[in-house]
Chain A
């Protein structure tokens, strides 16, 4: 299995520019999650999808952030306009649908390290 694929792995941009991060979940997984990791705040959930539908976006910092999942094999996280405080590592994760009494583990991608100058 290829695992969760994210692109780009590194992104350096200037304040005010639009940034698009991409994620391909593991085939067959029903859930897709976007996390942000910073030194100050650790790992934070931004949004997650179930069967391509956004379920919980309460972690999205503000309107500058948006996420889409047009199909089961692709999701994007967009920041427009970007700001220096958005600098972080953004992880995408996917998991199978939970069976009764269980919760399947999340498989993480390698992350995108975003630097906004």
Chain B
């Protein structure tokens, strides 16, 4: 069964600091990868997604992620965070097994201090 690991459970940064959130998945075949964000009290929104092609994916609000197949990783990055980036971030994977559901990581809570 596929699984997703997010090793950083809680990250605290100051505004303008750089961000990198780790995501590793366990599945040896072809995968689709996603990062979702959940702002306080809101529903999940898609930040970016990877299907194929360029392993460096750019998303909304200045976020990007890099797919490294050899490391089974899909880390999320942002060069300079803002207070408004305070939220919980979820990595998710869908493997090409015919099952259409996403498997989510446990989430990383990001707190940006002004």
Which of A's residues lie within 8 Å of B, judged by CB? Answer: 31, 33, 42-43, 45, 48, 50, 55-56, 91, 93, 95, 98, 101-103, 105-111
Contact = CB atoms under 8 A, between A and B. Distances in A.
Contact of B100 (A48, A91, A110): A48
B52 A108 contact: no
B43 A91 contact: yes
Contacts of B51: 101-103
A93 B104 CA distance: 14
Contacts, number: 45
B76 to A, nearest CB: 16
Q: Which size class do B's interface residues fall under? A: 20 to 34
B90 A43 contact: yes
A105 B46 CA distance: 8
Interface of B: 32, 34, 36, 42-46, 49, 51-52, 90, 94, 99-107
Closest A-B pairs by Cβ, 9 of them: A43-B104, A103-B32, A108-B44, A42-B106, A108-B43, A45-B101, A110-B43, A103-B94, A105-B46
A31 B32 CA distance: 17
Given A43-B107, A108-B43, A56 B52 contact: no
